[in-house]
Amino acid sequence: MRPLRELLDAFWRAAAYCLHPRVVVLTLAPLLIAAALALGLGWLYWEGAVDGVRELLERWSLTAAVLGWLDSMGGQGLRAVIAPLLVVALAVPVLVVVSLLLVSTLSTPALTNLVARRRFPALQRRHGASFMLSVLWALGCSLLALFVLVLSVPLWLIPPLVLVLPPLVWGWLTYQLVAFDVLSDHASKEERRRILREQRWPLLAMGVISGYLSAAPSLLWAFGATVLILAPLLVVVSVWLYTLVFAFSSLWFAHFSLAALQRLRAQEAAAAAPSPPPGGEIIDMPLSVTPSPLQLPREPHA
């Protein structure tokens, strides 16, 4: 029950920190970069991507048969929006990864410093990982997560799995990126590895919950063709929601991981303290003074 209590305590603390003005400001830089990148790529490649997906669907015999069946059932309107919706569905995972990478590199160190300064001011920084190592770790984990997502796309056609597989992948990615970045500055290499190993399941649970929260902005695109008209606005709103969710995740991991690091160091300090002697406290007993055998007793005076 203790890990659950610590997880919930970190959750509510992170939710309260999201109202801090500095946290709101720290979500703006990833928002501006990711939104500008998404809008720029959409402006340049939207029509070409939609035409390419539509042509690819018509080449496949299975999808061509499905599209022909939709036409026979009077679903010409659905045929027109399938390609744009597929482009959006393929772009959303990339948008999520870009937002997570931007928050991880730009916002997580500042958010961790905010938590450490306000809640753990006496926690020593041991600089267990450099900035370049954090960037390489983030890129490697992100490429692996995207590769697994691409391989799992056919399984998304099974209704239960589409609700499980993507959040699990996002949860693993969030756990690996954010926990590493939170502990990279304050923990040593050995401390970071020990915490990631001993707290693996609570951290993975936090990552999976964050993965489900990060899926919430994708619901903006679930209303069919009407959202395509408002696509530029929805791109900005969804990117901001992604950055806000990942900033909350960074705060959540910071509160939980730094508290675990503080407990670990307290346990190590207690184990290194000198133990008392086995007999307990030594009580000084007074020594009895015996007369010397060479000293003769005095005779009484007459």
Question: 3-state SS of 6-55?
Answer: HHHHHHHHHHHHCCCHHHHHHCHHHHHHHHHHHHHHHHHHHHHHHHHHHH
**What integer pLDDT is reported at residue 119 of this predicted model?**
94
pLDDT at 297: 47
Condensed to tens digits (0 to 9), the pLDDT of residues 260-279 reads: 999 999 998 888 877 665 55
The pLDDT assigned to 254 comes to 95
Q: Tell me, what's the pLDDT at 300?
A: 47
Query: What's the pLDDT score for residue 41?
Result: 82
Q: Give the angle subtended at the CA of 261 by the CAs of 250 and 200, to the nearest 5°.
A: 65
Alpha-carbon distance 232 to 146, whole Å?
A: 24
| Burial (CB count within 10 angstroms: exposed 0-12, middle 13-18, buried 19+), residue 179 | buried
Can you give the pLDDT at residue 96?
74
Which whole number is the average pLDDT over 207-234? 69
Distance CA 285, CA 282 (A): 9
Q: What is the percent of the chain with per-residue pLDDT over 70, rounded to a whole number?
A: 76
- Please state, for a pLDDT cut of 90, what percent of the chain lies above it: 24
CA 95 to chain centre: 16
Q: Which residues, 6 or more positions from 18, have their beta carbon under 8 angstroms from its beta carbon?
A: 24, 244, 247, 248, 251
Whole-number CA gyration radius for the chain:
31
More confident position, 138 or 284: 138
Question: Mean pLDDT lowest for which of 95-99, 163-167, 234-238?
Answer: 234-238
Q: How far apart are CA 217 and CA 271, in angstroms?
A: 47
- pLDDT bucket at 196, cuts 50 / 70 / 90: very high
Q: How far apart are CA 35 and CA 238, in angstroms?
A: 9
Q: pTM of the predicted model, to two decimals? A: 0.72
> Closest Cα partner for 195 from 127, 246, 96, 264?
264
Per-residue confidence (pLDDT) for residue 243, from 0 to 100: 82
Check if the beta carbon of residue 123 is closer than 8 Å to that of residue 116. yes
Residue 61 has pLDDT above 70, yes or no: no
Q: What is the mean pLDDT of the chain?
A: 79
Q: Say whether 240 sits in a helix, a strand or coil.
A: helix
Query: Which tokens sit at 177?
Result: 């990126």
Query: What pLDDT is stored for residue 195 in this prediction?
Result: 94
Burial of residue 222 (CB within 10 Å: 0-12, 13-18, 19+) is exposed
Q: What is the pLDDT confidence band of residue 230, given thresholds at 50, 70 and 90?
A: low
Distance separating alpha carbons of residues 58 and 66, to the nearest angstrom: 10
What pLDDT band is residue 223 in, cutting at 50, 70 and 90?
Answer: low
Tell me if 145 sits within 8 A of 97, measured CB to CB. yes
pLDDT of res. 80 = 65
CB atoms within 10 A of CB 70: 15
Whether 227 shows a pLDDT value over 80: the answer reads no
Average pLDDT over residues 59-80: 61
- Residue 284 has what pLDDT? 46
- Residue 237 half-sphere exposure, CB side, CA atoms within 13 Å? 12
The pLDDT, as a whole number, for residue 73 is 60
pLDDT band at 285 (very low <50, low <70, confident <90, very high): very low
Mean local confidence (pLDDT), 219-231: 58
Instruction: Please give the pLDDT value at position 203.
Output: 92
